[in-house]
Amino acid sequence: MENLNRIKNPRLHDRVVTAEEAAGWIQDGMTLGLSGFTRAGDVKAVPLALVDRAKAGEQFKVNVFTGASLGSDVDKMFAEVGIVNKRLPFQADPTMRKKINAGEHLFVDHHLSHVAELLRADVIETVDYAILEAISITEDGMIIPTTSTGNNLAFAENAKNIIVEINTAQPDLEGLHDLYSPGKQGERDPIPLTKARDRIGKIGIQVDPEKIVGIVFTNQQDSPSTIVPPDEETQIMANHLLDFLRNEIKEGRLTETLAPLQSGIGSVANAVLHGMVESEFENLEVYSEVLQDAVFDLIDAGKVDFASCCSITLSEEKMKQVFGNFEKYRDKLIMRPQEISNHPEIIRRLGLISINTALEFDIYGNVNSTHVSGTKMMNGIGGSGDFARNARLAIFVTKSVAKGGDISSIVPMVSHVDHTEHDVDVVVTEQGYADLRGLAPRERVPMIIENCAHPMYKKQLWDYYQEAVERGGQTPHVLEKALSWHTNFAENGTMKQTVEVK
Please list every residue from 182 through 221 that binds its own copies, using CB under 8 A.
182, 184-186, 188-192, 194
Distance of alpha carbon 177 from alpha carbon 143, whole angstroms: 11
418 binds its own copies (CB under 8 A): yes
43-336-340-181 Cα dihedral, nearest 10 degrees: 80
Distance of alpha carbon 498 from alpha carbon 367, whole angstroms: 26
389 binds its own copies (CB under 8 A): yes
CB of 100 to its own copies, least distance (A): 6
Q: How far is CA 135 from the centre of its chain?
A: 23
User: Is 238:430 a contact under the CB 8 Å cutoff?
Assistant: no
Residue from 390, 409, 429, 460 touching its own copies (CB under 8 A): that is 390
Number of residues that bind its own copies (CB under 8 A): 85
Residue from 56, 123, 499, 501 touching its own copies (CB under 8 A): that is 123
Catalytic residue among 125, 133, 289, 430: 289
Helix H, strand E, coil C: the string for 43-78 is CCCHHHHHHHHHHCCCCCCEEEECCCCCCCCHHHHH
Chain residues 357-386 in contact with its own copies, contact rule CB under 8 A: 366, 370-371, 373-377, 381, 385
Residue from 103, 324, 404, 455 touching its own copies (CB under 8 A): that is 103
The DSSP call for residue 423 is G
User: Is 321:363 a contact under the CB 8 Å cutoff?
Assistant: no
301 binds its own copies (CB under 8 A): no
CB of 413 to its own copies, least distance (A): 8
Q: Which of these, 116, 91, 308, 292, lies nearest to 205 by C-alpha position?
A: 116
Q: Which residues are annotated as a binding site for CoA?
A: 264-268, 379, 383, 403
Distance of alpha carbon 467 from alpha carbon 17, whole angstroms: 68
252 binds its own copies (CB under 8 A): yes
Q: Which stretch binds its own copies (CB under 8 A): 296-304, 314-322, 456-464, 486-494?
A: 486-494
403 binds its own copies (CB under 8 A): no
47 binds its own copies (CB under 8 A): no
For its own copies, the closer CB: 285 or 430:
285
For its own copies, the closer CB: 329 or 464:
464
Q: Which of these, 90, 106, 35, lies nearest to 369 by C-alpha position?
A: 90
CB of 495 to its own copies, least distance (A): 13
Residue from 67, 397, 486, 495 touching its own copies (CB under 8 A): that is 486
482 binds its own copies (CB under 8 A): yes
Q: Give residue 274's region: left, alpha or beta (phi > 0; psi -120 to 50).
A: alpha
Name the burial class of residue 455, with classes exposed (0-12), middle (13-18) and buried (19+) by CB atoms within 10 angstroms of its CB.
Answer: exposed
CA angle at residue 132 from 266 to 122, to 5 degrees? 90
CB of 343 to its own copies, least distance (A): 8
The SS3 of residue 39 is coil
Residue from 487, 494, 496, 497 touching its own copies (CB under 8 A): that is 487
Distance of alpha carbon 147 from alpha carbon 154, whole angstroms: 17
392 binds its own copies (CB under 8 A): yes
Residue from 6, 44, 111, 303 touching its own copies (CB under 8 A): that is 111
For its own copies, the closer CB: 6 or 87:
87
Q: Which stretch binds its own copies (CB under 8 A): 98-106, 134-142, 305-313, 404-412?
A: 98-106
Which residues, 6 or more positions from 224, have their beta carbon under 8 angstroms from its beta carbon? Answer: 39, 314, 315, 316, 319
Distance of alpha carbon 265 from alpha carbon 225, whole angstroms: 10
How many Cβ atoms from other residues are within 10 Å of residue 332's Cβ?
A: 16
Which residues, 6 or more positions from 117, have their beta carbon under 8 angstroms from its beta carbon? Answer: 185, 339
| Known catalytic residue at 289 | yes
Q: Which residues are annotated as a binding site?
A: 264-268, 379, 383, 403
Distance of alpha carbon 274 from alpha carbon 293, whole angstroms: 8
CB of 178 to its own copies, least distance (A): 17
- The H or E element containing residue 484 is helix 484-492
For its own copies, the closer CB: 214 or 260:
260
- The H or E element containing residue 12 is none
Instruction: Spell out, one character per residue from 148 to 187, where the chain touches its own copies: x when CB under 8 A holds, - when not.
Output: ----------------------------------x-xxx-
Chain residues 420-479 in contact with its own copies, contact rule CB under 8 A: 420, 422-423, 437-440, 442-443, 468-469, 471-477, 479
CB of 410 to its own copies, least distance (A): 17
The SS3 of residue 368 is strand
CB of 456 to its own copies, least distance (A): 22
CB of 446 to its own copies, least distance (A): 13
For its own copies, the closer CB: 55 or 184:
184
For its own copies, the closer CB: 186 or 455:
186
Residue from 300, 417, 494, 497 touching its own copies (CB under 8 A): that is 417
Chain residues 16-45 in contact with its own copies, contact rule CB under 8 A: none
Catalytic residues: 289
